[in-house]
Every structure is written in C-alpha cells, then in structure tokens.
Structure 1
Amino acid sequence: MLVYHPAYDSYHCITRILKLMQSLEIKEYNIDRIRIYDYYILFLNDINNITLPTAFSEYKKIEKSNKFNKVHNSVYVFTQLENVQNIALRAMASYGFIDKNLLDKDIIKLCLSDIPEEISNSLNSKEDKYIDFLKSFFEKQTLREIKKRTKLMEYRYELS
C-alpha cells in the first residue's frame, strides 16, 4: 500500500514556500522563520497549539482538528519536515527562485519577482486567512518569540 502526504513531497514544499514568499511583503527571511511558516501552512489545524493573545484567537478556527489531520507529536513532524524543506530550498536555489549565496547563510531571498503561473497557484480561502494571520501577528514578532509561542524549536538561547 502506498500512502502519500504533501509533507514528504519536495515539489509540494517548493510550491508552498513560493506561495508564502510571494504573499509576504518582505522578500528576505531567516530560514527558521520560513520553516515554521511552511509547517503551519501544511498543518493549518495545528495553529490551535500556538500560544496567541486573545485578540488573535479567531485564527485558531481556520481549520478544525479531527482524527485524520491531527498531529500527535508536532516537534517530531517538524524535525522530519526539515529534510524535505532543505531539499526544496536547494532545488529552488538551483532553479534561480532564491539567492543561493544567501541560502548558505540561512537567509532566504526571493530572486524572481515573476514566478511562472504554473508553479504559483492562487491561495485557497484557508491559506489566505493564514497569510493574513502571518501578516498581522507573526511578522511583528521576533524569531525568538515565534519559536517560543509555537514550541517547535529551541528558543532559550536565541539572540534575536
């Protein structure tokens, strides 16, 4: 039996990251920030586990959890996803979508302003709400604060 999940598909990861990078105004990001953003666009129902101020609690309702989409160990899945994300980022650098020299410094910068339409599909309504959440909350937080709120990565020794 063959089971497919977009989390382990590097081409799906490329399209997710391109959607994220095109939707956000700032075109240069730390790789950890993009990895966290990508995780939550993949598992929208896991936004429930983020510690958010009450003003942003409406975003926890973007997608409900059920027994089929629930992530039981989000830190483990996030670390497993890192390999796929690294493969996708290296492929994006080889295609010229992101700057290869900055990628070596753990910075992702979108190089092409015009991504082919075949690659960058439009966002669906849930992804659009998630991008609004990123712009209104996560973009105003430091990387350390994002790591602390999501609990996906170690943050205690983070300087930023």
Structure 2
Amino acid sequence: MLIYHPGFDAYHCVFRMLAICEKLGDLEIEKARLLDFYLLYPALVAKMKLPRLLRPIARDAAAVANVYHDPGSPATMFRDMRHIQEAALRCIAAAGLIDVKRYENGFVTRTDVVVPDAIKGKITLFLASRQPISEFVLKELAAIPLGGSEGLKHRSQLMDHKYDFV
C-alpha cells in the first residue's frame, strides 16, 4: 500500500523551504530545517521547551490536527527528513533563489531573483491555512538563537547542541 506523506515529498519540501526563505531572508540551514519541520508538524510546537512568554501558543498548537498524523518519534522523523530538506535547499540554490556561496557556508540567504506571483500566492495561502502556528513558527521560533542551552536546537530536542560554538 502506498501512503503519501509531505515529509518525504521533495516538491512539497521545496515549497515549504521557499516559504521560509521568502519570509525570513537569511538564516542558518539547521534553523531552516527546524522551522520546516514545525511548519509540517505544527502540533509538535506544544512539546517544545518554549520560553515562558511564548508558552500560551502551546494550547493552540496542541489543538492543531495534522491530517498526516504526527510522527511517533519526532527525532527519528526529523533525522529521516534531512536528505530531502537538503536536496530541496540545493534545488532552490540551483534556481538562483538562494545564494550558493552562503549556502556552502551553512546559511540560507534569499537572492533578488523574483518568485512568480502565482507561487507567492500559493505560499500566502499555505501559511494562512496554518495560522496562528505558521506565524508563530516564522516569527517567534525564528527569533530564537539556534545554538546554546537556550537555543532552538536544545528547546526542540531534535538536534544535538552540546558542541555548538556560542
């Protein structure tokens, strides 16, 4: 039996990563991967170790029903998605939408290449259909530093942070 899941759909991942790039412009590859994961599984935001001021969103996040079901093991799913996320970012870089040199140095930096209006419209609809969590992910979570004991890696428990240079 074949079962579709957007976590393993390279084209859907390209779309989500493009949405992240359009909204944020410049961020670390690892942060882009984490934000992509939480756009795909918004209910898992409730399981993060959020700063006190951001905890009220956990109730909204927990109430979000994921039509593709949340993974049994978020860490395993995040690890399994890595190759697809990296391929999606390479595809966006090959299209000239993110800076290749910055990508090679571990960053996703949006270039001046224009995204067609039809795709921009789809991105807007995609993010609007996941409100208020998509706004929270792309504003509040994105503002949290990636590394360190209070960083996004530690708070998500999806990536090792012990040896981060802070």
Q: TM-score, normalised to structure 1's length?
A: 0.87
Structure 1 Cα separation of the partners of residues 13 and 112 of structure 2: 17
The aligned counterpart of 1:136 is 140
Q: Is the 8 A contact 1:45 1:69 kept in 2?
A: no
Q: Structure 1 residue 116 and structure 2 residue 152: aligned?
A: no
Quote the offset at 1:55 in angstroms: 2.5
SS of match in other structure, 2:119? coil
Structure 1 Cα separation of the partners of residues 62 and 115 of structure 2: 28
Q: Is the 8 A contact 2:49 2:156 kept in 1?
A: yes
Structure 1 Cα separation of the partners of residues 99 and 52 of structure 2: 38
Q: Which amino acid aligns with 1:33?
A: K
Q: Which amino acid aligns with 1:142?
A: P
Q: Which amino acid aligns with 2:107?
A: I
Alignment of structure 1 residues 4-153 onto 2, 5 Å: 4-24=4-24, 27-60=25-58, 61-64=60-63, 69-112=69-112, 114-120=114-120, 121=122, 122=124, 123-139=127-143, 141-144=144-147, 145-153=151-159
Q: Is the 8 A contact 2:146 2:152 kept in 1?
A: yes
Quote the offset at 1:72 in angstroms: 1.3
CA distance 1:146–1:155, shift in 2 (3 Å): same
**Structure 1 range deviating more: 146-155 or 101-110:** 101-110
Q: Is the 8 A contact 1:41 1:127 kept in 2?
A: no
Q: Is the 8 A contact 1:99 1:108 kept in 2?
A: yes
Quote the offset at 1:116 in angstroms: 1.1
Structure 2 Cα separation of the partners of residues 133 and 91 of structure 1: 23
The number of aligned residues is 157
Quote the offset at 1:66 in angstroms: 6.1
Runs (5+) with no aligned partner, structure 2: none
Structure 1 Cα separation of the partners of residues 98 and 41 of structure 2: 24
Quote the offset at 1:19 in angstroms: 1.1
Quote the offset at 1:136 in angstroms: 3.1
Structure 2 Cα separation of the partners of residues 13 and 63 of structure 1: 23
Runs (5+) with no aligned partner, structure 1: none
Q: TM-score, normalised to structure 2's length?
A: 0.84
Quote the offset at 1:21 in angstroms: 1.8
